[in-house]
Amino acid sequence: MPKIIIANWKMAPPSLQEAKKLFGETAKIKNLNDTEIVVAAPFIYLELLINLSKKSKIKLAAQDVLWENPPVGGGAYTGEISPNMLKNLGVEYVIIGHSERRQNLKETDEMINKKIIASVKAGLKVILCVGEPKRNSIKQAKNYIKKQLEKDLKGIPNNYKLKTNQLIIAYEPVWAISTNKNAKPDTPENALQMTKFIKNFLKPKTYNLKPKVIYGGSVSSKNIEGFLRHEEIEGALVGGASLTSDFVKIIKIAQKYS
């Protein structure tokens, strides 16, 4: 099965010039096979990168979105971006529920649920991030993820129909994200267990849509192989390393498993 590698640039790089250069490094990669590459860039770079992406096979994602799709003349949400704005610009994916937004910007499961619904309605593909803040035991982690999925996907897809491939779950244990203190990647064995758990949990709820489940948390070219060699782990969400030359190496490894 083809793997998907998603770069999460977070709030970087600091200039459009640098964004262009960084994107160019990835766009140069030849023979992508079926490996899907997505770059989640800051809003203000998306238009330029969409134009550049036309010459490559790279797709664009936003890192967040609001839960409203106001009609023309509506939109009393100063500073926010709607799902329709992203869709009309040519953005294909949107990351929703990243742990940094949950923690630092106090985003709740209810807000995340509304964002997913509005994005699905607008025809965007959703990358939903879930992950436990601490790993005491796998059992506790599973419980935590189950609750997050129940709340974040409430009413979906029963009331809001999803298309095939419209939902990706990024399992990102918060403690494994590289910017957190003492972060280290999860073991591929535990990530695999969690991936299988998420898939089994979602199976009856999402009918046969089979959302892809990917891993995120301190992924680098040194450890990605351990995750991707498991068929069930269908890709990776890459933060820090996506801003460095390591990202090209990561993609080349993913090509071997696609």
Residue numbers of the site for ligand PEP (CB under 6 A)? 8, 172, 177-178, 216-219, 237-241
For residue 61, the minimal CB distance to ligand PEP (Å) is 12
| Shortest CB 209 distance to ligand PEP, Å | 23
Dist CA 65 CA 113 (whole Å) = 12
C-alpha distances out from residue 54 to 26, 49, 106, Å: 13, 9, 36
Looking at the Cβ atoms of 19 and 61, the one nearer to ligand PEP is: 61
**Least distance to ligand PEP from the beta carbon of 143, Å?**
22
What tokens appear for 55 in the block? 């010459």
Active-site residue, selected from the candidate residues 36, 100, 132, 172: 172
Choice between 42 and 82, CB closer to ligand PEP? 42
Residue 138 or 183 having the CB closest to ligand PEP: 183
Quote the least distance from Cβ 159 to ligand PEP, whole Å. 29
Residue nearest to ligand PEP (CB): 239
- Of 195 and 218, nearer to ligand PEP (C-beta) is 218
The answer to whether 172 is a known catalytic residue is yes
**Backbone dihedral angles phi then psi of residue 170, each to the nearest 5 degrees:** -100, 110
Cα angle, residue 198 at apex, residues 81 and 63 outer, rounded to 5° = 15
Pairing assessment for the beta strands 93-96 and 59-62 based on DSSP bridges: parallel
| 234 in active site | no
* Dist. CA 188–CA 201, nearest whole Å: 20
15 secondary structure, DSSP code = S
60/242 Cα distance (integer angstroms): 14
Q: 138 or 243, CB closer to ligand PEP?
A: 243
Taking the C-alpha atoms of residue 225 and residue 230, their distance in angstroms, rounded to an integer, is: 9
* Least Cβ distance, residue 41 to ligand PEP (angstroms): 13
Give rounded-to-5 percent helix, strand, coil for the chain.
40, 15, 45
- Rounded to an integer, what distance in angstroms lies between the CA atom of residue 245 and that of residue 237? 16
Catalytic member of 36, 98, 100, 107: 98
As annotated, the active-site residues are: 98, 172
